[in-house]
Structure 1
Amino acid sequence: MEFLDFTNLTAVQEYEAFVESHGGSFMQSVRWCGVKRNWFHEAIISRDGQGKIRASCLVLIKKFLPPFKSFLYSPRGPVWDYQDHGAFRDLLLGLEALSKKYHAYSCKLDPLVEESDQEKIYALRAAGLSFAPWQPDDSTIQCRNNYILELDGRTEEELLCSFKSKCRYNIRLAQRKGVTCRAYGKERLGDFQKLMEETRTRDGFQARSRGYFARMMDALGSHCRLYLCEYQGRPLSGAICVQYGRRTCYVYGASSNTGRELMPNYLMQWEMIRWAVKSGCEVYDFQGVPYWYDPEHPNYGVYRFKTGFNGRLAVYAGEFTQVFARHYKAAFDCALKCVGYQKLL
């Protein structure tokens, strides 16, 4: 077991190559540390007998004011072969070492493991991690319910034909009406932020700042794109999209209250899916669909919209916890929920 030297470019490149080639999330990339500047960060590495990386775990560390302890979090981590128990023991030893270094009371991990994959869940629990089989939508840091489109090597034409007829119609309607969708740099973040504020006011959710989106684009570089749909020079919708580890993720989206009849959101999703296909990705991830099972919930419309692309629901197992100071955990978890994980993150 070792810790990544972030100042060693060769070591960082080796780490990145491992995470990407093993389908790791962009939140397990070293680049993600540049976005989460209000956190400390470490990366644990396990090597095989030939010296090659066999497992990794990027860890974000939130320090609280003295004399309080810190909180460790591995977003969508770790990355490893679930049958390699020795590699995972190495990662757990690394977490133990970090808990001592940063006086952490616990660590949360939320790997990309679906709740139906009992073999992987068993491996994590057998290693000694705490796990609740059912975790409510609003109790986890990352959304447990995602909508994904498995690309399966299909061409753009094959994918378009696989969409529901109304979805195909709306994509073509936007094109016929003259709506355009293009990828831009940070120079258009002002337009995106205006759309985000409009969406926040309409739908009542917390919105990230323009500075946060700028950090994302700077840190993730060519992995991150800003898409904008426009009609006659007027922005109608926008999205921040990230491509990493053979997966393209629709991370943030916003839309105007006007021009909705022009169906810009359908065209925007289609253009981001086309980027995924051209880049050889295996999955296009529409990301969260919380409360997809409740037609009366305000978020249900998001789920209904995404189903038009004829993907599938991916329900992840949720969070696994390693506790280092049990008497602190209950109090801190309660405090974090009161503050809100999104404000923390």
Structure 2
Amino acid sequence: MEFVTLTANEFDDFTKRNFSHYTQSKTHYDYRNENQHDVHLVGVKENGAVVAACLLTEARSLKFFKYFYTHRGPILDFNNLNLVDFFFKNLTAYLKHRNCLYVLADPYILENIRTATGEIIESKDNRAVVQLLEDLGYQYQGLTVGYSQTSQIRWLSVLNLEGKSEDTLLKEMDYQTRRNIKKTYEMNVQVRTLPIEDTDQFFELFKMAEEKHGFTFRDQDYFEKMQKTYGDQAFLKLAYIDLNELLTIQQRKIDELTQNLNEVLGDLEENPNSKKSKTKRQQLEQQLNSKQKKQKETATLIESDGPVLNLAAAFYIYNNHEVYYLSSGSNPKYNAYMGAYRLQWEMIKFAKEHGIDRYNFYGITGDFSEDAEDFGVQKFKEGFNAHVEEYVGDFVKPIKPFFYKIYQFLNKHR
């Protein structure tokens, strides 16, 4: 085996053929290499063939040193302990020559598959690889719960699409989720892709989510940079509704109900004692009153808020293996139009159309109690029939142990 620097094309070919995270992509590499000059492609070859690959980025640390991060890498067969051992030993040597203070590795290794409520369905035995990495000086950060500001989320909510039709996927969702998606069609909710110039429309809705949940995550520049970094693999989607079109749809339904009611009233004139016709008249009158009330509400909303409402927006990235739902926001004033549900369904269909078998709803805390800070988010994702995947977590390797202790001390006393 040989530890090598990979070309962008070698890396691209390997990541497309082997399951990997969106951060491990040629698109990511090309942008950072051109604009930030802080990215490395390394790997292992055996008999001329690539058997391991990893995109690494660097950042300044303690002014004089560099911190390296593996971005859900490396990509390799972690059951092949000889390969794991060879890669990480050689990675240490590589980093020592690049003034590295420490490296953070968070390999895309599955620890447990769970139900949406946290019950373990299947466990993976990672003890051997964890022990090997610890023997190589990698400090295991453990099975953490909650969100982190310094590393990728360890708990993901994932919907398996493989071998399932759209009808099957809908049938496997819970009743309310399926009903909410259906209602978006009845209300003519639409979805479009926002150009990068309209990122502010997404960010306005995203800020509403931050205010609702009481957190501050990213600024608008971050989302613009992410779109530039991942190019055609990343986009913002906006769910919106044209209320003038909705008025037309509502009027069409009112006309239909009125016609049906007139027919029933005609039947009652001929047969005033018909119990069936009386019941039908009552049902149609209730439906007609409801539709007329909704139409008035729509007309009033046009006067106060304008004819087009931005309901919800989300940021997505995809690769050959997964579609990732990463960030979103919505206007709570317009929750009745179910924009968030339509967004998810449109992107699930997008995954199916592109032959992608995993729809990744992305992070949850791993706290499955009703007191969890993301309990509502978990229930939303559960409604689509998503399961939970728990990953092995982070490993930190001090390359310069003495200075790394100084770094830890300074961080602790800030």
Pick the TM interval, shorter chain.
0.7 to 0.9
Which letter maps to 2:162?
D
Aligned to 1:343: none
| Whole-angstrom CA distance in 1 between matches of 2:158 and 2:386 | 6
Among candidates 232, 238, 243, match of residue 222 of structure 1: 232
Count of residue pairs brought into register by the alignment: 331
Aligned to 1:136: 145
Aligned to 1:125: 131
Greater alpha carbon shift after TM alignment, 31-40 vs 103-112: 31-40
Among candidates 61, 66, 70, match of residue 74 of structure 1: 70
Using the size of structure 2 for normalisation, the TM-score is 0.74
CA RMSD after TM alignment: 2.4
The answer to whether the Cα contact below 8 Å between 2:314 and 2:328 also exists between their aligned partners in 1 is yes
Which letter maps to 1:311?
A
| Whole-angstrom CA distance in 1 between matches of 2:185 and 2:197 | 25
| Whole-angstrom CA distance in 2 between matches of 1:93 and 1:84 | 14
Aligned to 2:103: 107
Q: 1:203: Cα distance to partner? A: 1.9
Greater alpha carbon shift after TM alignment, 314-323 vs 132-141: 132-141
The answer to whether the Cα contact below 8 Å between 2:110 and 2:389 also exists between their aligned partners in 1 is yes
Q: Deviations over 1:228-247 (max 9, x none)?
A: 00022221111111111311
| Whole-angstrom CA distance in 2 between matches of 1:334 and 1:171 | 52
1:161 matched to 2:176: no
State the secondary structure of the residue aligned to 1:56: strand
Q: Deviations over 1:204-252 (max 9, x none)?
A: 2223233322222222222112110002222111111111131111011
Higher RCO (CA < 8 A, seq sep 6+): 2
Q: Following superposition of structure 1 onto structure 2, how do residues 1-345 of structure 1 map, counting pairs within 5 Å?
A: 1-4=3-6, 11-33=7-29, 34=31, 40-49=38-47, 51-64=48-61, 66-67=63-64, 69-116=65-112, 118-127=124-133, 128=136, 129-139=138-148, 141-232=151-242, 233-333=308-408
Q: 1:258: Cα distance to partner? A: 1.6
Q: 1:321: Cα distance to partner? A: 2.3
Q: 1:263: Cα distance to partner? A: 1.1
State the secondary structure of the residue aligned to 2:211: helix
Identity of aligned pairs, percent?
Answer: 23
- Where is the helix percentage greater, Structure 1 or Structure 2? 2
The answer to whether the Cα contact below 8 Å between 2:111 and 2:125 also exists between their aligned partners in 1 is no
| Whole-angstrom CA distance in 1 between matches of 2:343 and 2:225 | 22
The answer to whether the Cα contact below 8 Å between 2:8 and 2:41 also exists between their aligned partners in 1 is no
Distance change (3 Å), C-alpha of 1:211 and 1:152: same
Which letter maps to 1:174?
T
Greater alpha carbon shift after TM alignment, 159-168 vs 202-211: 202-211
Distance change (3 Å), C-alpha of 1:250 and 1:316: same
The answer to whether the Cα contact below 8 Å between 2:156 and 2:390 also exists between their aligned partners in 1 is yes
The answer to whether the Cα contact below 8 Å between 1:44 and 1:94 also exists between their aligned partners in 2 is no
Q: 1:308: Cα distance to partner? A: 0.1
State the secondary structure of the residue aligned to 2:144: coil
State the secondary structure of the residue aligned to 2:312: strand
The answer to whether the Cα contact below 8 Å between 2:146 and 2:364 also exists between their aligned partners in 1 is no
| Whole-angstrom CA distance in 2 between matches of 1:134 and 1:239 | 29
Aligned to 1:7: none
State the secondary structure of the residue aligned to 2:193: strand
State the secondary structure of the residue aligned to 1:27: coil
Whose radius of gyration is greater, 1 or 2?
Answer: 2
Q: 1:290: Cα distance to partner? A: 1.1
Unaligned runs of 5+ in 1: 5-10, 340-345
Greater alpha carbon shift after TM alignment, 281-290 vs 187-196: 187-196
Distance change (3 Å), C-alpha of 1:333 and 1:308: farther
Distance change (3 Å), C-alpha of 1:99 and 1:337: farther
The answer to whether the Cα contact below 8 Å between 2:196 and 2:227 also exists between their aligned partners in 1 is yes
| Whole-angstrom CA distance in 1 between matches of 2:394 and 2:208 | 32
